[in-house]
Amino acid sequence: MPDCAENNCRKEAGFVHLHVHSEYSLLDGCARIPDLIETAAQSGHTALALTDHGAVYGLVPFYKRALAKDMKAIFGTELYIRNRNGQPYHLPILAENAEGYRNLLQLSTKAHLDGFHGKPCVEIDWLAEHSKGLIALSGCLKGEIAS
C-alpha cells in the first residue's frame, strides 16, 4: 500500500458535509470560508461542499482555500425552485463533474437574470434542461419533500 504522504495521494473521504452555507448565504450563513475550511481540516475532513442560497459567489474563494489545505471542494448551491404553482422551495444541488459545474453556473445566472422574484428562482423546466452532471439533495427543511 503506498504511503500517501510520500506519493501525495488524497486520503479516502469518510463523512462529508454536503449542505454548507457561508457568509455568501445572506441572512442564513455566517461562517466565513477560511473558517469553514480550517475547521473542516482540523476535524480531519478531506472534502467539503459549499451550497450557498441562490448564488455561487463563494465558490472561487472556497476552492482556493480548500486547495491550499489539500481538501476536495465540492461545488454546489441551494436553488430556489418555482414549482408549477409558482411557490418557491429549496433544492440543494452539487456539481458531479465539469459539465455539472457549467450547468450550475448556467442555472445561477439564469435565475438572477430571468427568474428574479424577490429571490433568484429557477423554473423547473430550466433545471430539466441543465441537469446533466448535477446531483440533487433532498435534505433541506424548506425543500419540496419536507414541505
88 occurs within a structural domain: yes
3 occurs within a structural domain: no
The residue range of the domain holding 104 is 16-136
Nearest Cα neighbor of 122 from 136, 102, 108 is: 108
Which residues sit opposite 6 in a β-bridge? none
pTM of model > 0.95: no
Q: How many domains does the chain have?
A: 1
pLDDT at position 1 over 80: no
Distance CA 91, CA 88 (A): 10
2 occurs within a structural domain: no
Share of the chain above pLDDT 70, in %: 86
22 occurs within a structural domain: yes
- Stretch 116-125: mean pLDDT, rounded? 90
Cβ atoms of 94 and 18 closer than 8 Å: yes
* pLDDT computed for residue 2 by the predictor: 36
123 occurs within a structural domain: yes
36 occurs within a structural domain: yes
Which residues sit opposite 141 in a β-bridge? none
pLDDT at position 117 over 60: yes
96 occurs within a structural domain: yes
* pLDDT computed for residue 104 by the predictor: 98
CATH of the domain at 110: 3.20.20.140
Nearest Cα neighbor of 107 from 122, 93, 89 is: 122
99 occurs within a structural domain: yes
